[in-house]
Amino acid sequence: MKYREDKDSLGIVAVPAEAYYGAQTERARQNTIDSGLRLPSAFMHTLALIKLFASQVNADLKLLDPDVAGAIGVSAREVMEGRMDSQFVVDLFQTGSGTSANMNMNEVIASRANELLTGKIGGKSPVHPNDHVNLGQSSNDVIPTALHISVLGAIEGELLPRLELLKGALTEKASVFKNIRKIGRTHLQDAVPMSLGNEFSGYARQAELSISRVQNASTNLRELALGGTAVGSGLNTLPEFAPAVIARINDYLKMDFVEAENRFEAQGARDAAVEMSGTLKSVAVSLTKIADDVRWLASGPRCGLGEIRLPNLQPGSSIMPGKVNPIIPEVVIQAAAQVIGNDTTITFAGQKGQFELNTMQPLIAYNLLQSIQILGESARVFAEKCIRGIEADEARCAGNLEKSLAMVTYLVPLLGYDRAAELSKRAHETGKTVREVVIEEGIITPEKFDDLIQR
């Protein structure tokens, strides 16, 4: 069968790349660029949480009609439950203060509140998005407040428990492997003996320190900018407003947020978010080291190190039958790379706090929450799908240990450095083990050598 020149073998008309990839051309020409990215639901639900308690406090302060406050509260709760997620259509790349997202929230809540009170969706009466839903607030203090709450909530609810899970799995393996001796490695070269348990205890400590670093970096996230309104001065809000709202948030979430010590700092800078991002980068680096080591230790199964065996999760090759790859460690490494990239973005965004407002807050929120999510999931999957199922190849560990030229290090106190180096060179040139060379030369008895290397 023969086809026209502009068709492929399936008879599909060829489309030039310019036309194929240019389908969004008209949309790209609009004033607003739609990237297809939205602020995370966790952030938007937190923003609704603030609106809920703001309406209650404003009612208590006699600034808001109780019926209006009640309708705002019901609407905000529906947002918090995820029932209105489809209504939040503002693109991630918006005004840097997050005003677009804040007004999207105000309008959705007001629209639903009006429906509850009048039976008609939308409008600005009896509930107005600015005068009522946004009462006592500004995007400039509400958005950074939502950022800190959602980030700290994700850290305490998602990331830390999963890092604890990983620490526990690594600690367990350190105990199980404590008596399995193997060769250590520095510079990717054979070093002196250690136990496989020693190696895993180092990984467990990395996980433990990661937890500690995240906890320490969380401290400054507890300060909230709420109450500063436009520039930090608190214009058009009462001094009682912010502490009352924060108290209700704490009661609801069982957390301990406080008013910012200085609202001008809290609105003009995003240093706490940058600090947390840098900490998450250090966690990512730590997980990369562990995952990479696991890949190396499991390399083979016959022509690599092969000192441990990973769980077989899926066929690892589309062309090589029976090949199984270290899937989960590679998942962890890729996720860590994303976190490191996110940190670069957040670092740049954190610099854009000219005068009284940072103008990259949506981008910071998106990347920071993503980093927390993927780090947490990476730690969980690493623990459950990989670490817990690792087995030691004791014979391989013992064999590598016996073959290593680094065993000559045990003879240095007895023979001196230079003489020990000569024996190592001779063993390497003859293909013999250090044990064989020193016994052949009558330097030490087999029993003495065995006793020596157990130290």
Report H helices in 263-310.
Answer: 263-268, 271-297
**Torsion angles phi and psi, residue 7, rounded to 5:** -120, 150
Rounded distance, CA 31 to CA 253, Å? 39
Return the DSSP state at 131: I
Exposure of 338 in the CB half-sphere (CA atoms within 13 A): 18
3-state SS assignment for residue 224: strand
Give CA 8 to chain center in angstroms: 44
DSSP string for residues in 46-66:
HHHHHHHHHHHHHHHTTSS-H
Rounded distance, CA 274 to CA 343, Å? 8
Helix (DSSP H) and strand (DSSP E) numbers for the chain: 18, 6
Task: Note if 282 is an active site residue.
Answer: no
Kind and range of the H or E element at 391? Answer: strand 391-392
**Torsion angles phi and psi, residue 185, rounded to 5:** -140, 135
Query: Active site residue: 35, 125, 175, 317, which one?
Result: 317
Reading phi first (left if > 0) and then psi (alpha if -120 to 50, else beta), residue 65 is in beta
The partner residues of 190 in beta bridges, in order of sequence, read: 185
Q: Which residues contact 97 (CB under 8 A, 6 or more apart)?
A: 139, 140, 143, 357, 359, 361
Rounded distance, CA 437 to CA 142, Å? 74
Place of tokens 């070093």: 191
Query: Active site residue: 148, 187, 318, 424, which one?
Result: 187
Q: What is the dihedral of CA 87, 343, 250, 113, to 10 degrees?
A: -10
Task: Note if 317 is an active site residue.
Answer: yes
Exposure of 449 in the CB half-sphere (CA atoms within 13 A): 18
Kind and range of the H or E element at 154? Answer: helix 139-154
**333: number of Cβ within 10 Å:** 19
Q: Is the CB of residue 183 less than 8 Å from the CB of residue 401?
A: yes
Place of tokens 């429906």: 115
- Please give the positions annotated as active site: 187, 317
